[in-house]
Amino acid sequence: MIHVAAKVLLGPVIYAQAQRVRATALELPEPTGPREGTVGAGEAKLRLLVAGDSSAAGVGARTQDDALALPLARALAQRLDGAVRWQLIAQTGLTSEGLLHTLMHGHVHPADVAVIVIGVNDITREIPLAQALRKRDEIAAWLRTRIGVRHVVFPSVPEMERFPALPQPLAWLAGKLARRNNEAQARWAATKSGVSHAPMDGATRREWMAEDGFHPAPPLYAHVAERLAHHLREQVLRDDARKEPIRHSNHARGTP
C-alpha cells in the first residue's frame, strides 16, 4: 500500500516533522459552557448525545455556543420544530478505546441518537485501523444496549492534509491515512444496523481552522453542525419515523 511505502521511504523526515509538530503545537483549552441542556420550544422531540475527542469538545471555540454539540442541538430543534435535550461527553486526546472507557465509566443520560466524533487521535497515535474500528463497534453496541440509543452516527475524520499545522510530506501522509480511515469506517457502518457514516468531504478549509492549525474554528463547527443535522434529519430520523416514532416519554434511567 502506498502509505506504507511512503512511511518507509520518508520515515526519517516524517518522524522529525511529527516530533516538531508535537513539540511546538499550540495547546488550546476546551471551551467553557454547559455540557447538557434543552434547546428549542414545545414538546421534546429528541434526546441527543455528542461524544468524542477534542473536536467533539469544541476545542477552537471559546464557548459551547460556538462549538459543535450545542449548535447541532439547535439545528435539530429547528428542523424538528420542537425541543432537543442534549449531552456532551468529550475530552481532548481520546482515542476510540479511550472514549469507550470514558462512556462506560461516566454518567451518560439515555439518548435517542448519538454522534461520535473520533478517529484523529487513532491516526496520530498510529493505532491499527482494525483495532480502532473494533472499539467503535463496541462503542455503538454499548450505546444501543446500555442507554437505549437508536442510531449512532460516526462522522468522517477531517481532511488532515489541509491542516495548516502539518508540513509536507507529513500532511500528505496524514491525509492518506484519514481517507483510509473514512473509507473503512463507511464500509463497516454499512454492515451495521442502527449505525451510519456521515461524510464530511470538502468541509475542511484553511480559513475555517483555529489558530493552532489543527482544530476547527467556529465557522467550521457551524458548517459541520448543519451537515450533521441534515444527515440526522434526512437519513436517520425520517427512516425511524417510518418504523417507530422517537420516544418522548421519560426513559427508565431518567431524562436529562
If you average pLDDT over residues 222-247, what whole number do you get?
78
First to last CA, the chain: 47
pLDDT tops 80 at residue 11:
no
Res. 22 pLDDT band, cuts 50 70 90: confident
pLDDT above 70 coverage of the chain, percent: 89
Q: pLDDT tens digit string along 150-174?
A: 999 999 999 999 999 999 999 999 9
The pTM assigned to this predicted structure is 0.89
**What are the sequence ranges of the domains in the chain?**
2-243
pLDDT tops 70 at residue 250:
no
Q: pLDDT tens digit string along 183-193?
A: 999 999 999 99
If you average pLDDT over residues 123-145, what whole number do you get?
97
The pLDDT value recorded for residue 7 is: 53
Distance from C-alpha of 164 to C-alpha of 212, rounded to nearest angstrom: 8
| 56 class by beta-carbon count within 10 Å (0-12 exposed, 13-18 middle, 19+ buried) | buried
Indicate the class that CATH gives domain 2-243: alpha beta
Torsion angles phi and psi, residue 14, rounded to 5: -65, -40
Res. 61 pLDDT band, cuts 50 70 90: very high
Helix (H) or strand (E) holding 90, with range, is: strand 83-90
